A and B are shown apart, each in its own frame.
Chain A
Amino acid sequence: MIETLLNFLNQEEVLQVIIVIGSMILFFIGLFGILTQRHFIKIFISIEIMEIAIFIFFIGLAFQKGKTAPMLGDGITKFINMNDPIPHAMILTAIVIGMAVLALGVSMAIEYNKLTGITTIDKMNGLKN
């Protein structure tokens, strides 16, 4: 019973469908959060959820079943039948950039809060028509 389930899940098409649906659910949770939440920190968390969802989507779909990690070692001595290394590098770059922007945003929000006492974006209306 469990074995048939595992075998079913181990098919590449099934894995891809699960990854697409799962990551898109996460993505829209984040989008929903951005559109409905008003608190700075909650918005930053929503942005981060969206970002992570896209990373999962990309790395999940870039993975090809039956191929090894793209490095030598553990008896592997040739660069054949390996997964694509570029998505790993891209995700690494994108994660660091996302983290940097988020950290800057949080520190700006802290400073803004210190000056004005405001914690939500709908009260943030010092600049307006």
Chain B
Amino acid sequence: MSLKRTIPMTTVSGFGVSAVFILTILNILMQNMPSNIYRAGDELLKLNATDGVANSVTTVVVYFRGFDTLGEIAVLFIASLGIGLMLTNNNLNNISQENSNFMLQIGAKLLSPVIFIFGLYIMIYGHLSVGGGFQGGVIIASGILLLLISSNGFHISHKFVEIFETLAGVSYVVIGLIGLIILDSFLGNFLPYDISKMGLLLSGGIIPIIYIIVGIKVGSEMSVIVDNMLKRNIDD
């Protein structure tokens, strides 16, 4: 009986405390709206005009803050490794043993080439327009997901994907180390980049190359994650 009486009291007091808490934080944030100060990004935009890449977000992601991106790739790599560790080698029934419906099968066959080409385009043109390696890689992985859920015969070989994954990861670090040797700065842009070629596919030195590598890495990692989560493949 005492329990019944205390529940409303705790609820009310909890509600009151949290309301005060929320209002305090909102008050602090409202009184300190960010002004239009001169930020590091504005300085980077100026610098960006000298490196020959049309999309400055790409330059920031791949070049100016390329070290973060390397770390991010490492996080994705470790997560994929951990998911593989957690979800393999347990004799599970495959979840979608029965055939998926006819519309999905035909639709997947029609759509998947388009999705792959779209993903590749987004990946390769990441330094000229919106998009880039992450987005393209995820689109390709989504195409593989579509194929995996639509047809029973389709499966991806982890050994095959591993080749791409390894090559992409290794070449990212190796490109960084070449920059260290040539320019004395890790991930330095050691290939020639001509500002007059800005807007062309071959421009910006190592930036598009690294973004394509990132795309391959993200695409293969995400495909492996998706495949592990569907638990089709126990050949690892």
Contact = CB atoms under 8 A, between A and B. Distances in A.
A87 interface: yes
A45 interface: no
Interface in B2-39: 18, 22, 25-26, 29-30, 33-34, 36, 39
Contact of A93 (B46, B48, B72, B199): B72
Given A64-B36, A79-B49, A88-B60, A73 B75 contact: no
By size class, the interface of chain A is 35 or more
A62 B39 CA distance: 10
Contacts of A106: 229
By size class, the interface of chain B is 35 or more
A85 B44 contact: yes
B65 A89 contact: yes
Nearest to A106: B229
A2 interface: no
B56 interface: yes
Given A61-B33, A97-B72, 5 more contacts: A21-B26, A93-B65, A96-B134, A100-B76, A100-B79
Interface of B: 18, 22, 25-26, 29-30, 33-34, 36, 39-42, 44-46, 48-49, 54-57, 59-61, 65, 68-69, 71-72, 75-76, 78-80, 82-83, 86-87, 90, 128-130, 134, 198-199, 218, 225, 228-229
Interface of A: 13, 16-17, 20-21, 24, 28, 32, 61-62, 64, 69-73, 78-80, 82, 84-90, 92-93, 96-97, 100-101, 103-104, 106-108, 110-111, 114
13 contacts: A13-B33, A28-B22, A62-B34, A64-B36, A82-B45, A84-B45, A85-B59, A85-B60, A86-B39, A86-B60, A88-B60, A93-B68, A100-B78
